[in-house]
Structure 1
Amino acid sequence: MTDNGGAIALPGLAGRRVAITAGAGGIGLAIARLLAAQGARLAICDVDPDALDTAAAELGAEVALLADVADERPVEVFFRETAARLGGLDALVNNAGIAGPTAGVEEIDLDSWQRCLDVGLTGQFLCTRAAVPMLRAAGGGAIVNMSSAAGRFGYAFRTPYAAAKWGVIGFTQSLAKELGPDDIRVNAILPGIVEGPRIDGVIAARAAQTGVSVEAMRAEYVGRVSLRRMTPPEDVAAMAAFLISDAGRNLSGQSFPVDGNLESL
């Protein structure tokens, strides 16, 4: 069985109410597009107003608000509006994160370190704290937390990012135990080298840090993947949709790499 776009129709997604942070670009937008195609009802937030307007129009999102997930007040407003307009919540995708600085640990200033953790880890806490009462009221649901391959390998010269993503794994496993009795499933996705402007910037920064060409650094990154290719954001979206759907109803507390078998970072 397929939907109108030709994708496999996953059970239970039609009508499911899903909140997605950083849902107007990159992986978040890919997730939102797939869920919309499957008939889900969407609430998205982002920090880019132009991208948010464009995505909301494309997706038909019922909620589309500017919100920095590291800021408690906008997060509260986003989930209050989600409750009002969607009538509740069935799933949360904690997708927001930033790359953080590329530098040796002795060169990283405290503000840069803190900002990376605030968005990538504390933001997940703030959004989950707001969403859990809504998920309980719905009789259960799913939370998908975006980690990274850096959350299992570590990442030299990217210590704030790696620390945040390792923290997401601990947060995920702890929540799965805590929320399981409420029939709330919590899993993490660990994307690898995902195609798009963000990885282009990461590769350029890493090349500058280590004194090699951008082309050589790109080849080095791809060479660490067993399948010798980057991962399209749509592949990460497919995993998120599966975990939110009824097909993933017995998956919780797990970390799922989507990376072509990335061997190292």
Structure 2
Amino acid sequence: MLLQEKVAVITGGGRGIGRTIALAYARAGARLALAARSVTALEETRRMVSDLGGEAVVIPTDVSQATAVAALAQAVQEHFGRVDILVNNSGTAGPTAPLWEITPDAWEETFAVNVRGTFLCCRALLPLMIAQASGCIICIGSMTGKRPLFGRTPYAASKLALVGLARTLAWEVGPYGIRVNVISPGPVEGERIEQVIRKQAEVKGISLEEARATFLRDAPLGRLVTAEEVAAAAVFLASEQAASITGEDLNVSAGIVMY
């Protein structure tokens, strides 16, 4: 029970990595506030947490909107009275195309969720952490921020931006006992990576098998990453076992990225 009685806010908690982190946190003893746009997906995660004997509240939130994020922070304060962990997991894949074919609106939409959303959540919830002189922020980045992926300039740029944000923020909030880190997953098993593979095949004009092979050939472990492995890293970084770790970018990529 590494997170016993800790209060964790998880954005994008309705599915995928966010849901898996929520379940791992519940098993570790945390109390959860789940935020995302899809109420249906959030409620399903809440029921799964409840089945584990955990506590979770659902707070529908569009993280790209300042008023919605302010309402999220207020709801967390009213329900729990504190926040110990913020997992900035909400994200969008954005378009897949050569940069010169990407519209400004598509570029800005990617940054609105992946970067602005992280900024707004940190901005809204940090006052609670500062007041209690403790806390932990985890941003879910991507290996794509550091390793080129054809046609994914907005996504890559937005995910690498999180590293700069986290490292600078770690300096700003360190005196208050607050830690800030990034987890950069590699290709994670599931429907989302299958969509990415299909898009890669389309824009490169290659077969699905060839596109899938590119995600495996550079992995020393020769496999994709599981959402559970990313969640295990998120539990560790939020726990007292990582009390001296801040400003780090932790790769969970089966070795595809080592920097």
Task: Give the TM-score normalised by the residue count of structure 1.
Answer: 0.93
1:146 is matched with 140
2:193 is matched with 199
* Partner residue of 2:104 out of 82, 100, 110: 110
Tell me if 1:59 matches 2:49.
Answer: yes
Cα distance in 1 for residues equivalent to 2:62 and 2:222: 35
Q: Which runs of 5+ in 1 are unaligned?
A: 1-8
* Partner residue of 1:48 out of 34, 38, 55: 38
Post-superposition Cα deviations, 1:216-264, rounded to whole Å, max 9, x if no partner, equal 2112211121111000001000111101111011000010000110159
* Partner residue of 1:20 out of 3, 6, 10: 10
1:77 is matched with 71
Tell me if 1:156 matches 2:156.
Answer: no
Amino acid at match of 1:152: K
Deviation at 1:33, TM superposition (A): 0.3
* Most deviating of 25-34 and 132-141: 132-141
* Most deviating of 253-262 and 66-75: 66-75
Deviation at 1:205, TM superposition (A): 0.6
Cα distance in 1 for residues equivalent to 2:166 and 2:39: 29
Cα distance in 1 for residues equivalent to 2:48 and 2:128: 26
Cα distance in 2 for residues equivalent to 1:41 and 1:97: 22
Tell me if 1:219 matches 2:209.
Answer: no
Cα distance in 1 for residues equivalent to 2:204 and 2:148: 17
Task: Give the TM-score normalised by the residue count of structure 2.
Answer: 0.95
1:88 is matched with 82
CA contact (8 A) 2:39 2:58 kept: no
CA contact (8 A) 1:62 1:85 kept: no
Cα distance in 1 for residues equivalent to 2:257 and 2:177: 34
Q: Which runs of 5+ in 2 are unaligned?
A: none
Question: SS in structure 2 opposite 1:222?
Answer: coil
1:3 is matched with none
Deviation at 1:45, TM superposition (A): 0.7
Structure 1 vs Structure 2 CA RMSD: 1.2
CA contact (8 A) 2:200 2:211 kept: yes
Pairwise mapping of residues 250-261 of structure 1 onto structure 2 (< 5 A)?
A: 250-261=244-255
Identity of aligned residues (%): 38
Q: Number of residue pairs matched? A: 254
1:30 is matched with 20
CA contact (8 A) 2:150 2:200 kept: no
